[in-house]
Amino acid sequence: MNAPVSTGAAGTLDLTMTRRIPAPPAAVFAAWTEPGQVRQWWGPYGMTTPVCELDLRPGGTFRTLMRDAAGAEYPSEVVFDAITPPARLVVRVPAGKGGPLAGAVATIAFEEEEGACTTRLGVRWTHGSAASREAHERMGFVKGWGETLDRLTAHVLRPPPNAACPMQAAPEPEHGWLHRLLGTWRYEVECSMGPDQPPARATGIERVRSLGGFWVVGESEGEMPGGGGAGRASAPRPQVRASRGGGSHTESG
Query: Side-chain half-sphere of 225: how many Cα atoms within 13 Å?
Result: 11
Averaged pLDDT, 25-34: 97
In one-letter notation, the amino acid at residue 210 is S
Going by C-alpha positions, the residue among 229, 216, 146 that lies closest to residue 185 is 216
Distances (CA, A) of 237 to 33, 44, 143, 163: 30, 21, 21, 23
| Whole-number pLDDT of residue 205 | 84
3-state percent helix, strand, coil for the chain, nearest multiple of 5:
25, 40, 40
| Whole-number pLDDT of residue 192 | 79
| Whole-number pLDDT of residue 210 | 74
Going by C-alpha positions, the residue among 123, 131, 148, 107 that lies closest to residue 18 is 123
Q: Are 38 and 55 in contact (CB under 8 A)?
A: no
Instruction: Kindly state the percentage of the chain with pLDDT values over 70.
Output: 74
In whole angstroms, give the CA distance from residue 105 to residue 126.
5
Question: Could you tell me the pTM of the whole model?
Answer: 0.73
Higher pLDDT, 201 or 234: 201
pLDDT per residue as tens digits for the range 125-159: 999 999 999 999 999 999 999 999 999 999 998 87
- pLDDT beyond 80 at 172: no
- DSSP states of 53-120: EE--STT-EEEEEEE-TT--EEEEEEEEEEEETTTEEEEEPPTTSSGGGTT-EEEEEEEEETTTTEEE
Q: Are 149 and 173 in contact (CB under 8 A)?
A: no
| Lowest-pLDDT choice from 84-88, 164-168, 218-222 | 164-168
Bridge partners of residue 29, in order along the sequence: none
